[in-house]
A and B are shown apart, each in its own frame.
Chain A
Amino acid sequence: MIEIRWHGRGGQGAKTAALLLAEVAFKIGKNAQGFPEYGPERMGAPITAYDRISDTPIRVHSNIYDPDYVVVVDESLIESIDVTAGLKEDGAIIVNTQRDKAEVEAEIRQKGYFGRVYTIDARHISIHTLGRYFPNSPMLAAVVKVSGFIDEDVFLENMEASYKHKFAKKPEVIEGNMEALRMALRELK
């Protein structure tokens, strides 16, 4: 079983990304669970979302305390939340940032986590491909690449089908989102 914890702020789409990841895993025949944990209901408040992906049925309904992967959608949360809590040393953390990877890695090391650290500039990718800041597509691609539970081409095919369904009334945004995924797969550091 792969367990993933997402840290974001209300309105950034961390919950949507977690649910999309569960959908992708489900479509390739895995058992999957995706769920949010809500704090105060307002834009900008910290929210946590979770994914479980497994080859066997999933019954557990508690939150995830020892994740394999952590995705930080909003790096300002690193200061206020213990984002690496329980994160497995052979797992990894992915941070959305415009800073140098070395700087972020040093910050994570200071928190006492010595596993793999990846960074991605989801803002740049999103603005370049969609013209607006929607970090969830790039972050989704990043976690797929790092966790490796699905072949990248199969992932892209499935996402294209999902976007066609999801954006049936806004087909013009499909290609932008697909390009955001492809760019994120290339630009993950």
Chain B
Amino acid sequence: MEDMKKRVQLSGNEAVATALRQINPDVFPAFPITPSTEIPQYFSNYVANGLVDTEFIPVESEHSSMSAAVGASAAGARSLTATSSCGLALMWEELHVAASNRLPLALTLVCRALSGPININCDHSDSMGARDCGWLQIYAEDNQEAYDNMVQAYRISEHPDVRLPIMICQDGFITSHAVMDMELLPDKVVKDFVGEYEPERYLLNENGTMAIGPYAITDYYMEARRAQAQGILNAKKVILDVAREFEKISGRKYGLFEEYRMDDAEYAMVLIGSAAGTAKDAVDKMREAGKKVGLIKIRVFRPFPAEELAAALSKVKGIAIMDRSESFSSNGGPIGSELTQALYHARCKAFTVNYMYGLGGRDLQVIHVEEIFEELMALEAKGDPKDSVSYRYVGLRDIADPDHKQISYLCKPENSEQA
């Protein structure tokens, strides 16, 4: 029975905790924060029940949990921690330490809004805020993907061409606390797939000395940073190779992103995370009505699949780029900025509109997605969609309106006109 794949119903948090039980990492320091708390909670049960022989360290803050994970990884152990929101913010310093020391540790992140106002619900402010820390970032649409990504994590992170820490992200509450149908791989299959960690250099190796966290001034700092960038550049191929091998044990196919009904699509939506499931239902509905719409769900945000995305979007007329975090740049969100840059380099002719949605857990519904596609079509019909350059908010409530009706809101300075 143990050798068979098993259909189960688990929350996203329990799904990731189960993958970690199967991986049986060496060291897991953790500090609780909603909505990721359940992951170390489930895992500490596995430790107490002898299902894993991991060293589980309850620490006093997220600064410490990441520091301990970094220390363990430098010593030669396979380590990880879990967090959300402000917990990730408190790790900011160590995130850079982990990446610049080329330490292949993992972080299971359950995405949650940052303060303020204080909010426990999902958005991508935390992970997107850490997008330039040198970590790999992989996102999940549902519980199955959160589990599958966790199983693939160390193979990517520990690969000699990469050697970088990896963030496995899922949406707070929407997947972390929702039970859904999914399939678990047998313990042994996961164990064999992940393999033993055999670091080439590590602090506890008595036969080879090394420095961790050295000082480098103007003479070597730039060379070190350039060497670190190579790991990110190499990661794309490794991620795809690992995905191909994963398909052999699971039957499930993964890439840098997923294309959904894009073949003859004239309008496309690009987004990350659980909202992709909702948007797929909207795409199906509009396809039934004869509208040529499609969707791209980004799975890997770091490294950013710039050329590949531009190629996949080369034939569409209009693109809605969806961001679940406000970067306060006055120029749209992180996916909006990075994707439009990629499209520009590829001389892509499509117009883009960058939408902010789902901040602090605001629900994105099928109807919102349909409205966004209709808006793209209306802009195209107007003949000059370039006036869409600014970014917009989806499902924002008009606080001045007594019914608080939801509006699509164009973001521009107050001294210019609003759409």
Contacts and interface: CB of A to CB of B under 8 A. Distances in A.
Asked if A pairs with B, the answer is: yes
B120 interface: yes
Contact of B363 (A19, A34, A41, A63): A63
Contact of B181 (A26, A38, A41, A62): A26
A176 to B, nearest CB: 25
A38 to B, nearest CB: 7
Contact of B174 (A32, A34, A35, A65): A35
Interface in B153-202: 171, 173-175, 177-181
B9 A36 contact: no
Contact of A35 (B179, B181, B278, B365): B179
A59 interface: yes
Interface residues on B, range: 20 to 34
A3 interface: no
Interface string B96-108: 0000000000000
Interface in B234-285: 274-275, 277-278, 280-281
A33 interface: yes
B84 to A, nearest CB: 13
A44 to B, nearest CB: 17
A184 interface: no
A93 interface: no
A23 B274 CA distance: 21
Interface string A44-71: 0000000000000111111101000000
A34 B121 CA distance: 17
B120 A33 contact: no
A38 B119 CA distance: 11
Nearest to A20: B179
A36 B178 CA distance: 7
Given A22-B9, A38-B121, A61-B275, A33 B180 contact: yes
Interface string B121-132: 100000000000
A22 B180 CA distance: 8
Nearest to A25: B9
A61 B274 contact: yes
B367 to A, nearest CB: 9
Contacts of A19: 179
A58 B180 contact: yes
Nearest to B7: A26
A-B complex: 9 closest residue pairs judged by Cβ atoms: A35-B178, A59-B277, A61-B274, A26-B9, A62-B365, A34-B179, A61-B277, A60-B278, A60-B281
